[in-house]
């Protein structure tokens, strides 16, 4: 569900309250998101503008966002023209889904000039356009050449043409409804969802003017789940049922932060996904070939039999022959022996014994290679599972693990100084009983938690037969609720999160042993117990875990 004109109308005043504000830094945190770090009203703020086709929005955000090492072309243009400038105002075009940010800067000779930054938040057409004082386009996030849109060209140097007005009535000032037309056709700012919500309320006896008054007075956003999709607006969603409310900007952060987080991780650390998927595909392709070679090696005795028969029958002249059939002395059966047409009988016999010896020795080697290949498949499947639920720090730690394992070549810069490796970012919560529970979301975090942070008498949890998180309860004993919470964390942060009755092994940390030469996070268990648990995201959220 995308932002509509009325929600934009509610967001604009929040931004206007902090103005004027100086632009300190500008970051492109993904291919569709620009983050402005502002200083206004004696405080620091973050203005986020997203031109995502589904999650487009503009709001003040309090979240921490990762930034790419190399900025894109558009953000470099924004930095050139806008860093150090002052945002003096922001205006919405009627109730349309676009607004204009007014920016005052000093040019190269020190004269003041006014720029405009137009945020068009219209689904797949969402865009961010920087406009010169003369009304020409300096640059845009999404350039649209003339051959793609003859009516409206978005290219540097082109004249900026505003999005045409829809010429609909303002629902806050004109509240006479034509029953022959839908609300979307009559009023600007209405999304299909808001129209349905309004029509439902009116069918229950509420007046259109009363609904618009409630929208006008609202300073919160209401979020509900409808057919496994989040729906939201700035009034209570009576047509949907149960909903939760948040302050406006905070609610948008909750809605969209994690939705776009995976996109940010893929863009900023996209090579991690590619490396893991490529290696997993390679190992899965390699394993059947190894098994085929191993089966052939286990059948090596037939080559010894071929050599013995060639010697026993004193076969000499085999040049030009591709095979020969001889009778086996033990079984009396005719055996077809493959030959090399370039060799004599004795040389073919020697060739058979050489192949027998090679296959015999290869059995042990191939068995080792199969075991290595299966371990690699399990390892990369685990990494892929971790990446699917990773935040940025977790993804960066996986990158560091892949660099250490030789799967990724580390990019070095002469300008950058070597910094001390940071400890992995673990997550710690407190159970209702007051006991701390810590867990990791990747192999480095698991390794650090289990073998460096945890004490020997503390409790350790991990899913049975699934890749997943190591969970440590920082106590030698724990009540049943704490044990179930720790087991639920282990089950949720594993490949079995969508299953029921997930088996979770738990024991004292002193029952764990590190496997020599194994990948990070791999352990051997001594004495342990098993608990079966259903992963319940709602309970984890109530426990203070951000999912």
Which one of 86, 117, 140 terminates a domain?
A: 140
Which pLDDT value is given to residue 415? 44
Position 476 in a domain? yes
Which pLDDT value is given to residue 55? 83
Position 536 in a domain? yes
SS3 assignment for 132-150: CCCCEEEEECCCECCCCCC
For 186-201, letters b (16+ CB in 10 Å) and e give bbbbbbebbbbbbeeb
Q: At what angle are helices 345-388 and 270-298 packed, to 10 degrees?
A: 150
- The number of domains in the chain is 4
Domain identity same for 77 and 30:
yes
Q: Give every residue of the chain whose pLDDT is below 70, as ranges.
A: 1, 68-69, 257-270, 411-421, 547
Domain identity same for 194 and 128:
no
Domain identity same for 261 and 277:
no
Which one of 266, 295, 330 terminates a domain?
A: 266
Position 164 in a domain? no
Domain identity same for 247 and 293:
no
Domain identity same for 523 and 463:
yes
Cβ proximity of 383 and 495 under 8 Å:
no
Cβ proximity of 102 and 90 under 8 Å:
yes
Domain identity same for 120 and 201:
no
Q: What whole-number distance in Å separates Cα of residue 198 and Cα of residue 6?
A: 13
Cβ proximity of 125 and 149 under 8 Å:
no
Q: What whole-number distance in Å separates Cα of residue 208 and Cα of residue 173?
A: 12
pLDDT in tens, 418-469: 555 678 889 999 999 999 999 999 999 999 999 999 999 999 999 998 888 9
Cβ proximity of 1 and 229 under 8 Å:
yes
Which one of 111, 140, 169 terminates a domain?
A: 140
Which pLDDT value is given to residue 1? 67
| Structural domain harbouring 57 | 5-140
Domain identity same for 245 and 277:
no
SS3 content of the chain, % helix, strand, coil (to 5): 35, 25, 40
Q: What are the residues whose beta carbons fall under 8 Å from the beta carbon of 244, sequence distance 6 or more? A: 222, 223, 224
Cβ proximity of 234 and 257 under 8 Å:
no
Domain identity same for 294 and 230:
no
Which pLDDT value is given to residue 419? 53
**Distance of alpha carbon 209 from the chain centroid:** 43
Domain identity same for 26 and 113:
yes
Residue closest to 488 by CA, chosen among 526, 406, 431: 431
Position 173 in a domain? no
Q: What whole-number distance in Å separates Cα of residue 393 and Cα of residue 408?
A: 17
CATH code of the domain covering residue 60: 2.30.310.10
Q: What whole-number distance in Å separates Cα of residue 244 and Cα of residue 232?
A: 9
Domain identity same for 357 and 262:
no
Position 441 in a domain? yes
Question: What does the DSSP 8-state code read for residue 124?
Answer: G
Q: What whole-number distance in Å separates Cα of residue 474 and Cα of residue 21?
A: 46
Which pLDDT value is given to residue 416? 47
Which pLDDT value is given to residue 414? 43
Position 416 in a domain? no
End-to-end alpha carbon distance in the chain: 20
SS3 (DSSP) at 463? strand
Position 458 in a domain? yes
pLDDT in tens, 76-85: 999 999 999 9
pLDDT in tens, 198-232: 999 999 999 999 999 999 999 899 988 887 778 89
Position 159 in a domain? no
Q: What whole-number distance in Å separates Cα of residue 3 and Cα of residue 198?
A: 16
Cβ proximity of 426 and 448 under 8 Å:
yes
């Amino acid at each position: 569900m995308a932002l509509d004109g009325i929600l934009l109308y509610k967001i604009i005043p929040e931004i206007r309250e902090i103005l004027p504000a100086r632009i300190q830094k500008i970051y492109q945190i993904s291919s569709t998101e620009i983050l402005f770090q502002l200083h206004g009203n004696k405080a620091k703020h973050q203005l986020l503008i997203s031109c995502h086709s589904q999650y487009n929005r503009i709001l003040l955000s309090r979240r921490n966002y990762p930034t790419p090492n190399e900025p894109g072309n558009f953000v470099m243009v924004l930095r050139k023209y806008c860093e150090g400038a002052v945002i003096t105002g922001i205006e919405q075009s009627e109730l349309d889904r676009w607004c204009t940010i007014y920016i005052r800067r000093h040019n190269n000779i020190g004269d003041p000039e006014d720029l405009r930054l137009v945020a068009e938040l219209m689904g797949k057409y969402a865009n961010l356009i920087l406009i010169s004082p003369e009304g020409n386009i300096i640059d845009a996030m999404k350039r649209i050449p003339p051959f793609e849109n003859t009516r409206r060209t978005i290219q540097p140097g082109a004249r900026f043409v505003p999005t045409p007005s829809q010429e609909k009535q303002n629902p806050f000032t004109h509240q006479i409804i034509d029953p022959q037309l839908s609300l979307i056709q009559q009023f600007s700012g209405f999304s299909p969802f808001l129209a349905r919500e309004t029509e439902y309320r009116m069918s229950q006896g509420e007046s259109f003017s009363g609904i618009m008054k409630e929208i006008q007075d609202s300073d919160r956003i209401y979020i509900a789940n409808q057919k496994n999709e989040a729906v939201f607006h700035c009034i209570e969603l009576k047509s949907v049922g149960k909903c939760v409310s948040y302050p406006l900007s905070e609610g948008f952060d909750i809605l969209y932060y994690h939705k776009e987080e995976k996109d940010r991780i893929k863009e900023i650390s996209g090579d991690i996904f590619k490396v893991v998927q490529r290696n997993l595909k390679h190992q899965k392709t390699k394993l059947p070939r190894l098994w085929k070679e191993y089966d052939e090696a286990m059948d090596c005795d037939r080559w010894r039999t071929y050599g013995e028969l060639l010697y026993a029958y004193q076969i000499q002249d085999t040049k030009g022959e591709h095979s020969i059939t001889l009778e086996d002395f033990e079984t009396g059966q005719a055996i077809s022996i493959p030959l090399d047409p370039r060799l004599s009988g004795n040389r073919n016999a020697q060739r058979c014994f050489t192949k027998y010896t090679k296959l015999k020795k290869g059995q042990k080697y191939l068995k080792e290679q199969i075991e290595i290949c299966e371990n690699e498949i399990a390892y990369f499947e685990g990494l892929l599972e971790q990446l699917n639920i990773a935040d940025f720090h977790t993804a960066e730690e996986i990158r560091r693990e892949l660099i250490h394992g030789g799967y990724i070549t580390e990019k070095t810069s002469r300008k950058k100084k070597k910094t001390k490796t940071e400890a992995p970012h673990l997550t710690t919560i407190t159970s209702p009983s007051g006991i701390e529970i810590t867990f990791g979301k990747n192999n480095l975090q698991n390794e650090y938690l289990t073998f460096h942070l945890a004490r020997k008498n503390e409790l350790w949890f991990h899913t049975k037969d699934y890749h997943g998180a190591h969970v440590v309860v920082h106590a030698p004993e724990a009540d049943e609720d704490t044990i179930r919470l720790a087991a639920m964390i282990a089950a949720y942060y594993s490949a079995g999160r969508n299953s029921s009755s997930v088996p979770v092994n738990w024991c004292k940390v002193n029952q764990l042993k590190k496997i020599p030469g194994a990948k990070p996070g791999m352990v051997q268990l001594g004495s342990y117990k098993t608990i079966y648990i259903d992963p319940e995201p709602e309970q984890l959220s109530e426990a203070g875990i951000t999912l």
